[in-house]
Amino acid sequence: MMRKPVCATLAVMMSLLFSPLSQAGQAWESYKARFFKPEGRIVDTGNGGVSHTEGQGFAMLMAVANDDKATFDKLWQWTNRTLKNNENGLFYWRYNPGESNPVADKNNASDGDVLIAWALLKADTRWHDKRYSTASDAITKSLIAHNMIRYAGYRVMLPGVQGFNLDSEVVLNPSYFVFPAWQAFADRSHQKVWRELIRDGQRLLGKMGSGKANLPTDWVSLEAGGKLEPAKTWPPRMSYDAIRIPLYVAWSDKHSQLLTPWRTWFNQFSREQTPAWVNVTTNEYAPYMMEGGLLAVRDLTMGQSSGEPEITAKDDYYSASLKMLVWLAEQ
C-alpha cells in the first residue's frame, strides 16, 4: 500500500522528463529552423537575408532562456569571429552575404552590442563559465568609451559610434534604450554611468511624445538646448523601431508610467484594428494593422499576457523575434 504514492510520483516525474517540448521550446525550435544558419548567424528574412547584431543578440538571449548552450556558442562564436571590430571592441552592425565585403559598413549599432553583452552575462549565470561574463565586461567597457556621451544635460548612448553626434544636435533611437540590460550592467559593475543612463533615458522618453498620438518616433533629435523633436532624415513615425520602446520599458518595470501614453494610444483601437504605425506630425495611420509580434508587444503593454509564443509561417524574422522577446519579458 505504501509503494503506490511513490510509484505515482515516479510516473509523474518520468512523464515530465519525457514530455514533448513546451510550446515555448517548440517556438524556439521553429525559430531556429526558420532563421538560424548552421554557421551561427540569424537571417533577417524581411531584409534580403542579411544578418545584424540585433538579431544575434536577440537569439543569444533566446538560447540562454531555452538552456540551449550549443546554439548559443555557435551564435556567439560567429558574431565574435565575423563582426568584431578589433579597433574599438564593438561589432559591425550588418553582415550582407551578397556583397564582396559582407561587412562594408564599419559602424556599430549600440542596441546590438548591448543585447550581445547582456546575453553573455546571462550565459555565465546559467552555465557558470566566466569567459562569457569577461567578454560581456569588455563590450560594456567599449560602449562606455565609444558610445556614451553627456549632451544637453543628459547621459545618452549614441545609436552608433559614427554619424549621430552632429554638434548642433544628437540623433537618438529610443528603441535602443534597453533598460533591463542597462540595469543588469549597473548591478554587475556598480558604475554610476549606467544608473545615469537609465535615469536620463527615462527622463528623455517622458518628453519624447509628439503630436496628437503623444508617442516617440523611431528616430528623435535632441538639440543642444535640450529640445526634442522627430529626427529630420526619417519619417516622423512611431513604427517598427519604436514598437520596441514599450517592450523594453515593460520588461524593466511593467508598472512604469512611461507605458501610459502607449496604453492610451492602443486603447483607441480594438486589438485587431490597431494600425501598424502612426505619423505623429499628420496623425496619418498605416493602411494595414498590427499583427504577429507587434500585437504581442501591444498585449504586453496592455497587461494582457500572450501566453507562450507560437511561430507561424506568416511571421518574418522580426515578428517572430518580437513574439519570443515578449515571452522572455514575461518570465
List residues with catalytic annotation: 54, 111
Looking at the DSSP bridge assignments, the partners of residue 154 are 151
Q: In Å, what is the CA distance from 323 to each residue of 24, 58, 299, 306, 330?
A: 10, 11, 10, 9, 11
C-alpha cell at 115: 543585447
C-alpha cell at 48: 534580403
From CA 184, how far away is CA 320, in angstroms rounded? Answer: 25
From CA 133, how far away is CA 125, in angstroms rounded? Answer: 9
From CA 48, how far away is CA 71, in angstroms rounded? Answer: 23
Name the residue with cell 552592425.
Answer: 93
Determine the 3-state secondary structure of 59 from DSSP.
helix
The answer to whether the CB of 314 falls within 8 A of the CB of 279 is no
Determine the 3-state secondary structure of 289 from DSSP.
strand
Give the other-Cβ count within 10 Å of 171's Cβ: 19
